Amino acid sequence: MKTEFSLAQLADPDIREADKILRACVHCGFCTATCPTYVLLGDELDSPRGRIYLIKDMLENDRAPTEEVVKHIDRCLSCLACMTTCPSGVNYMHLVDQARVKVEEEYARPLSERFLRGVLAVVLPRPGLFRVSMMAARLARPFAALIPSSAKHGVTPTFLDRLRAMLALAPGKLPAPGPSGGKVFPAEGQKRGRVALLQGCAQQVLSPGINQAAIRLLTRNGIEVVLVADEQCCGSLTHHMGRDGDALARAKANIEVWTKEIERGGLDAIIVTTSGCGTTIKDYGYMLREDKAFAAKAARISALAKDVTEYVASIDIAWPQSKSDLVVAYHSACSLQHGQKITQLPKELLSKSGFVVKDVPESHLCCGSAGTYNILQPDIAKRLRERKIANIASTKPDIISAGNIGCMVQIGSVEGAGGTSVPVVHTIELLDWATGGPRPDLLTGSMKGPRFGSA
């Protein structure tokens, strides 16, 4: 694609980067076929190619984002399916991230929307606040049905539509909190490695059992696990809202505490059990590339970041000899398959664990979760969830496995929110169960795991 940035514009490293990305696009349109919003809405401006044109026009002319441009950028899930499909290697992620920052800085959203986005940006990354807000949302949930819905296909949702969606996602009850930062879980037997495990923000409130399963599996196999003190939310949630000041501050704080931990006891990896966070931490090196004080440290941290399945695949595990007849539909989170290009590994590990693994049709299409998307764009998110659940149901699974808490909430059994009744369990919980850990809470007593029967 031909670009026309001036030399003065190209002096800005972000514009230089945008120019490089835009020039790689040959407008072939292959990406449109796999873009969930184009598949649903059929509007070129809701396709990757359409958005690329809108962003190009906005950046080249140094124009403030218009309502129309914001509408189409907001509808993008940042699922990155377009990056998987693109034959020219267009880095749409870095382009849309830049556009979102411009929107956040230069576009005056309606007051109610600014308020809601502000609340999400403050609450979601803080587990304590998030826990309190989930308890309040649980109390308010019975009234969600009374909130009038104006949600119509193709119309920008109102504040009330979003409030309704937010309440519907609140879980019926919250589990007890897991271990806090500053704890070290020693390796059992001979120590073969040492890793930090990202504690996360929303996940540690909604499903602390995920990280507990990871700790059990890793320590049982000779890996010491550290929950680093003073770690923060990875910044992913605010990064995708265009709030780069917040996201970069969180990235830097994490880089500092992880770097200190490397100097103190060494780390072979920083393990992430929420693939949305993993994609962002693996991008810290890029996000801080122009920051002289942090660029090298950020690149080092990004290189150490590993999805938990990547790391488990790299160590020796005693896989069970027996098989289970439990059918597991593997839901491939966008951040894992498109963001981190991890597609086969989780399925291979589940197969080695003795489960019958099924691929989900249209697995490249997002489930509609996408960080705060299911709150901010409830109509599109709901349609994507329904499509995903129908595709999953066609495999007739006993269990759904996923590697991202956002997807688990979106397609899981949140009463009244249209989720599936099939239990949605994190991949690491199944791997832990199959190799000696307890049965995940969501699975019924009659389900027999590969190694330990109904244990």
Residues making contact with ligand SF4 (CB under 6 A)? 25-31, 35-37, 48-49, 51-52, 76-82, 85-86, 88, 90, 92
Work out how close the CB of 34 gets to ligand SF4 at its nearest, in angstroms, rounded to a whole number: 6
The per-type count for the chain, helices as H runs and strands as E runs, is: 24, 9
- Quick one: 221 or 377, whose CB is closer to ligand SF4? 377
In the complex with ligand SF4, which residue's Cβ is closer, 25 or 214?
25
Backbone angles phi, psi at 82, to 5 degrees: -65, -35
**Are 213 and 312 a contacting pair, CB within 8 Å?**
no
CB 350 within 8 A of CB 319: no
Decide whether 80 or 308 has the Cβ nearer to ligand SF4.
80
- Work out how close the CB of 94 gets to ligand SF4 at its nearest, in angstroms, rounded to a whole number: 12
CB half-sphere exposure, 142, CA atoms < 13 A: 1
Cβ proximity of 353 and 431 under 8 Å? yes
CB of 242 to ligand SF4, least distance (A): 14
Q: Provide, rounded to whole angstroms, the least separation between the CB of residue 367 and ligand SF4.
A: 12
Q: Which is nearer to ligand SF4, 74 or 161 (CB)?
A: 74
Min dist CB 46 to ligand SF4, Å, is 8
For residue 381, the minimal CB distance to ligand SF4 (Å) is: 12
Residue placing its CB nearer to ligand SF4 in the complex, 144 or 375: 375
CA of 156: how far to CAs of 71, 185, 377, in Å? 7, 48, 8
CB nearer ligand SF4, residue 78 or residue 207? 78
Q: Are 232 and 253 in contact (CB under 8 A)?
A: yes
Helix or strand or coil: residue 432?
Answer: helix
Residue closer to ligand SF4 (CB basis): 406 or 423? 406
How far is it, in rounded angstroms, from Cα 19 to Cα 28? 18
Nearest distance in Å: CB 55, ligand SF4: 10
Across the beta sheet with 327-330, the strand order is 356-359, 327-330, 399-402, 424-426
Tokens representing 225 are 């696990």
